[in-house]
Structure 1
């Protein structure tokens, strides 16, 4: 099929006129662009590809860059192959054609989180200098939260009190947790968006999708995305604390096997990092509710998930 690509696809990434095909929308990106499965009805059995325009305009070219500079360095990690892509530098007209892995599920089960934790060290151990400084993620870096919390100080405590955080929890947040900013942690190459909908398992092999947010970040960001980040766009089962520790331990064990050690305080530091971001999200959600951003019921569900996560993180931090 490779030698037929120039015949099959036009410069816009669409299938050339006259070639019978069908399309199926897989999902819609943050900017409204549709990612589609395209089935080509040729003489050979039907061949299908995934057509992906940019879902985030600032990420133009990043996934191709990952294929050319990162994927070959982490053969242990399965990344969907990009077969064809636009040569345009115009985000409105940029697209990729990726291999179709078939119908995949994106489970949030603990077993998938554990398996993913074993893979993360393979890209975390790569020299971070591989990734250009210009590559950015979709959220502020941890030390950028300090200014946010200062600006929101008048509303933050009432939000926490309204949601049932105790005086002891508030004392810990203000007297201990927030005083740790600026927060020191190891900087690594980060996938950038490693939440479970970007992970699939096919025939007992994990596939890691959507690397367009690759950048340099804290060692904890990918783990936070994997376990504790929430969104109004999907439901996040709140991890029990035993499972959270198990995932972190699995990550640490994989690092040790790669002779890639980390600090003894890693597990505690992760909980602090995750709590800082969960506090940030709780304040953002309150603002989104006030301004009718997103579906209200989805925001309320995200809020309850975030409260449950924050409570679990604080319970751990206040007990060790």
Structure 2
């Protein structure tokens, strides 16, 4: 227990400092990729894999690890590249995303680096493999690509965005919002579209931004035309945590520290898991924390916080 609490305390100190830790790995060749350490449960040599009928073509097989059955996804294939060939000498990165545990098969794993989110930039415009990027950064004078894991998982097992009947009162939630919009912030196009489809399904107008800096600039701009508070135009902010240039924790802290923005309710909506998140959420002043992606929970939280305006 002491070790867990120490980890919570250490990671909480990063809040407001706009920092993250990346685990670096390779698929084929020299190109490096990165994944947030917060999402990594374990890294291990690839165990024997069991094939099963009708598996998605990106799934290499099933592994039995510490009493759990885990799907192992070939990260090379899933990102449009070549499959991992030497499976026995490859590695599995066990991760927790969107309330599920899965393994990603990679060629090799390097090290963990500590970075500032300001050094993490949106991906360049392009096609092909760039479609699977949420961000890029430079380490040791080489480009490191941060993959859009949510996009990969969505292609393998699409999520429903339908809000169940009776979860929200359509007329009530629209009345609570009035003429205002809901601002959603996420660097993943898949995640943005999931939230938009879920909330537009109950008739709510959406404004979408790609990262914390872009969202904060937008809020500052429109608040200039508000007499007292940005809540005259924005009813609620729903933000991811991991984003290039400015993360969701830092965005929340900035919103809560600015007079015209401080009344805006903030829901952090993230695929990050772990007990330390609750300490971080409390520290930056977020109003709610929801793990991705459950449309009923999201819609219910939206109705709750709009009703408290």
> Does the alignment reach a TM-score above 0.5?
no
**Larger Rg computed on CA atoms:** 1
Higher strand share: 2
Higher helix share: 1
TM-score normalised over the length of structure 2? 0.28
